[in-house]
Chain A
Amino acid sequence: MNFPVLSIITFTPMVAAVLILLMPAQRRNESRAVALMAATFALILSIWVYFSYDQAAAGYQFVEKYNWLPALGISLHFGVDGMSAPLVLLTGVVMFTGVLISWGDEDPHVKAGIQDRPREFFAFLFILASGVFGVFVSLDLFMLFFFYEIAVFPMYLLIAIWGWVVTREYAAMKLTLYLFVGSVVSLVGALVMYWMQYKNTGILSFDMLVMENAGFSQAFQNAWFLPVFFGFAVLGGIWPFHNWSPDGHVAAPTAVSMFHAGVLMKLGAFAALRVGIMLLPEGARHWSWLIMTFAAVAVVYGAYIAFVQTDMKYMIGFSSVSHMGLVMLGLSTLNSTGLTGAGVQMFSHGVMTALFFAVTGMIYDRAHTRMIPELGGMMKIMPFAGVGFIIGGLVSMGMPGFSGFVAEFPIFMGVWREQWLVAVIASISIVITAAYIMMNIRKVFFSELPEKLTGHVGDITVLDKVAIVTLCVLMIGIGLFPSLMVPMVQTGVENIIRLLGGA
């Protein structure tokens, strides 16, 4: 067996979390430094995985398999394909930038970033990161659930302890219960699949590569696709189960919002794809109209609700619902164009929304308000953040030359092939998105600096700038050179199409 790179990526944050917890609480900068080192290490490894993935060979690569509980067919089976490799990279990037912007500024006048108990913050954040990596690389259904739950519970603490005082308790509990309900509903479905496989084939295994060939009947797939898919899709923010998401985004501290919108929502969409669509393809075909309908509603409704928000974080939160709706729309097409778009959109939206939340957090930490009408003139004070936000906005609108275009265009093409009317309706969202993004940029960054904010609002730190540059480079890079990502995602999509019966 080769170098076990995927398990190292997965367990690096976990080990780092334990190390950080073992450090004395007063060593604040040291615990931050350990966090940054671990994040950098994981990022480098995930970049390495991404670029050494052999696209010609396709399939699952860097595979590791350890029998964990052979009696029940549970194994620690890791591997990435064209669909999950970009998401592993995304997690690495968001983790790295999340640590950077949480470092903050100890100056009592500024107090940006995480200043209350940073040791515990990074430890919980890294446990979350381990869970996320684990889900993206797991090829074993049991382990997928194991890591999925690990990714869910630290959110409660991260939001409840370090979140926005006004809504944090409510939002944290709401989010946790929503996600937990979703995951246990899927779990029942997964257990039923497990025993049905045993009945059909006599094999006891949670291995998803084995389960692909379980030969579930059409009726079985139709019955169990919905709980399995929607259980996960709750975390993907699908309408009408999206309600937890904007509240959670708003209440969470900046780095957690980035993780939450940037990575966790992808977790839901990815698990819904891998477990729902790939293991129950006939069920997916049967119900694709329903997903498409819900996703189309989410796309337009999310954008419209975002349009009327006055709180920047709520605006971005609902824009996430809208953009994740596009991912679901891409998944619901079940054709290679739409699925490819969905795969790229997951990455693109992750980076874009992480950037949005990072910039919003930087503004809030310094201006102490996120209300759009109360803000203004930020371009003069923090030009770097302003430019970053504008680039993010262009991605969000789907401008050519940025990653958003590379992602959204194929989604709409794919939807058109299945049902042109849905494509037309969903495309309304592009106009609304452009409207709210531009209005927001005009008011927050270019209008007159309000009297109240004059004087005490300062520029962002160097680490913040590094984070912004990292995220922007990715978005522009993929926009200008789609070949960096699209062919890779296509190799993953081919596998899905094969399971769907080669449409």
Chain B
Amino acid sequence: MISSTMFASILPEILILVLAILIFIVEPFWKDEKRRNVGWLTAGGLLAAMILSFIFGQPGEPTATLGGMVRFDWLGFFFKMLFMFAGAATALLFMDNEKIGRRGEAYLLLLASLLGMNLMAASADLVMLYLAIETTSIPLYILSGFMLTDGKSTEAGFKYLLFGAMSSAIMLYGFSLVFGFTGTTSLYQLAGMLNAGSLSLTAAFGILALILVGLGFKVSIVPFHFWAPDVYEGAPTPISGFLSTASKAAGFAVLVRLFFVAFPGYAASWTLVLAILSAVTMTVGNLLTLQQTNIKRLLAYSSIAHAGYALIGVVALTQLGAASVIFYLAAYIATNLLAFGIVMAFSRVTGLEEIKDYAGLSRRSPWLGLMMLAAFLSLAGMPPFGGFVAKVFVFAAGVQAGYVWLVIVGIINSIIGVYYYLNVLKFVYLYRMPNEDEENHPVPLTRPYVIALAVLALGVILIGTVFAPWFGWSDAAALNLF
């Protein structure tokens, strides 16, 4: 029985698949020097898919489709839009990367993983969820190790694979226990069964812990974060950007749905655990960031800290909490992609990735310097950039739920954050190159970078100033959880 709702509910995924097939057909016929244009095709195709889904695939009342495998609601829809936006930006950032820009399979793998993320955000069944997580992860393992001749990249790919396989196996064990105890795999039936008291608190706690290992790995919360810095550093930079934004957000999409929908009955036990994890994640992430000298590692560790901030909203377990997590992720995706994009644009020209190499950037390329200012201040949580509003909303949700201590931990951490983000800007704006001849060392940007960075920077500012529509969507998405 095929209905239009069913079609609409997976419209973005169908379009991504069509796009992938199109690339599959077209790419071999293009000459090597033109292969880079697959990036235009991917980004344009994703943009078109977003527009089409927005017109034809908007959800109404939350409904279960495809035999209860997929939930068609605003929560999934908003996340799908975010992922596709991130995917389009990443495709643009791929294009002028020497190693992957002309390899059609890189774009295909990106689309495959995007397909998985979309399904992660929408899945309403543990079986579907697991499949989606694997569909997301496997292409990312390959992409992380994409530069076969580069030792660090292969190490990154392999490390990611091992950690990922391990944690997803543990999570799968958790899923199987859920099925064993309750006899259902549907998230929405699960809640009712659990409320009926078919599960003892100890068993529920154990199951949640197992599942948390898998998701904690995806969103890189302490103590499941060890892979992140090495993988971010070794993987091709566009992949690191994608891993630290879209992939992390996908993990949060699942986390939010799972904890809010399936396990609210056991909230008392897991909110405290999550609160402690959040505090530890922020603190460890930030303290480790302080010592970094490599810009990619700095962003990697700081992205761990950001996962901690976002968790505050999950801990709050209110509609505002959920909305603030989603808003935070939207702001964070735009900001961190911008930061990684700048790192890419810079190292493409110079081949350098240490923080000290950024000395004099604001004189070498004033616009790149300004965008870096926007990205890093947004990460530090300063207005008028997205990071400020996002942080305030998350903190507001925390205070509302009575977690004032957690908010205070968050605030102490954001002060540490301000310190190291400003330290990077000090190199960009204050220090100069050894010979003070910046005008002879410009940092030219190619067209895909210009477009991607400009759109992302605009996004960061828009989220931070005109925040009503973004919050409205986040709120509509959060409403579906209750």
Contacts and interface: CB of A to CB of B under 8 A. Distances in A.
Contact of B392 (A68, A142, A156, A160): A142
A432 interface: no
Interface string A173-187: 100110011001101
Interface stretch (B39-47, B156-164, B464-472): B464-472
A269 to B, nearest CB: 21
A44 interface: no
Contacts of A153: 377, 382
Nearest to A142: B392
A499 interface: no
A431 interface: no
A192 B399 contact: yes
A21 to B, nearest CB: 7
B468 A188 contact: no
Contacts of B472: 71
Contacts of B389: 146
Contacts of B475: 71
* Most central of B392, B393, B426, B472 by chain A CB within 10 Å: B392
Contact of B471 (A71, A149, A194): A71
Interface string B107-121: 000000000000000
Interface in B437-482: 467-468, 471-472, 475
Contacts of B384: 146, 150
Nearest to B384: A150
Interface in B395-446: 395-396, 399-400, 404, 407-408, 411, 414-415, 418-419, 422, 425-426, 429-430
B370 interface: yes
A171 to B, nearest CB: 13
Contact of B395 (A152, A168, A187): A187
A153 B429 CA distance: 14
A69 B475 CA distance: 12
Contact of B430 (A69, A145, A169, A180): A169
Interface string A413-430: 000000000000000000
Contacts, number: 83
A159 to B, nearest CB: 10
B430 A177 contact: no
Given A153-B377, A191-B399, A195-B400, A145 B366 contact: no
Nearest to A145: B392
A72 interface: yes
Interface string A129-147: 0000000000000100111
B279 to A, nearest CB: 15
A29 B366 CA distance: 18
Contacts of A160: 426, 429-430
Contacts of B400: 195
A149 B415 contact: no
Contacts of B382: 149-150, 152-153
B388 interface: yes
A169 B404 CA distance: 33
A173 B430 contact: no
Given A69-B467, A169-B430, A184-B411, A146 B422 contact: no
B62 interface: no
A96 to B, nearest CB: 24
A72 B475 CA distance: 11
A72 B414 contact: no
* Most central of B414, B418, B425 by chain A CB within 10 Å: B418
B223 interface: no
A176 B422 contact: yes
A177 B415 contact: yes
Nearest to A67: B468
A158 to B, nearest CB: 10
Contacts of A188: 395, 399, 404, 407-408, 411
B426 A169 contact: yes
A291 interface: no
Interface string A21-44: 100010000000000000000000
B404 A192 contact: yes
A173 B422 contact: yes
B430 A161 contact: yes
Interface residues of B, number: 36
A392 B168 CA distance: 71
B468 A69 contact: yes
B206 interface: no
A120 interface: yes
A149 B399 contact: no
Contacts of A157: 373, 425, 429
Contacts of B422: 156, 173, 176
Nearest to B362: A120
Nearest to A152: B382
Given A69-B468, A180-B418, A191 B395 contact: yes
A21 B418 contact: no
Contacts of A68: 467-468
Contacts of A152: 382
B383 interface: yes
Interface string A191-215: 1101100000000000000000000
A111 B266 CA distance: 69
A187 B411 contact: yes
Given A71-B472, A146-B383, A191 B418 contact: no
Given A146-B384, A191-B407, A184 B414 contact: yes
Contacts of B370: 21
B388 A149 contact: yes
Nearest to B389: A146
B449 to A, nearest CB: 19
B440 to A, nearest CB: 15
Contacts of A120: 362, 366
Contacts of A184: 411, 414-415
Contacts of B388: 146, 149
B471 A72 contact: yes
Interface in B357-398: 362-363, 366, 370, 373, 377, 382-384, 388-389, 392-393, 395-396
B325 to A, nearest CB: 15
A176 B377 CA distance: 13
Given A149-B382, A191-B407, A194-B396, A25 B430 contact: no
* Most central of A70, A168, A180, A192 by chain B CB within 10 Å: A180
Contacts of B418: 176-177, 180
A153 B373 CA distance: 11
A173 B419 contact: yes
B263 to A, nearest CB: 25
Nearest to A159: B430
Interface in A25-80: 25, 68-72
A195 B363 CA distance: 46
Contacts of B320: 72
B458 to A, nearest CB: 12
A378 to B, nearest CB: 32
A201 to B, nearest CB: 15
22 contacts: A68-B467, A69-B467, A71-B468, A71-B471, A72-B396, A145-B392, A146-B383, A146-B384, A146-B388, A146-B389, A149-B383, A153-B377, A160-B426, A161-B429, A173-B422, A176-B422, A177-B418, A188-B395, A191-B396, A191-B407, A192-B404, A194-B396
Interface of B: 320, 362-363, 366, 370, 373, 377, 382-384, 388-389, 392-393, 395-396, 399-400, 404, 407-408, 411, 414-415, 418-419, 422, 425-426, 429-430, 467-468, 471-472, 475
Interface of A: 21, 25, 68-72, 117, 120, 142, 145-147, 149-150, 152-153, 156-157, 160-161, 168-169, 173, 176-177, 180-181, 184-185, 187-188, 191-192, 194-195
Given A71-B471, A146-B388, 15 more contacts: A70-B468, A72-B471, A120-B362, A120-B366, A146-B383, A146-B384, A146-B389, A149-B382, A150-B382, A150-B384, A181-B415, A187-B395, A188-B407, A188-B408, A191-B396
The 3 closest A-B pairs by CB, nearest first: A191-B399, A184-B411, A69-B468
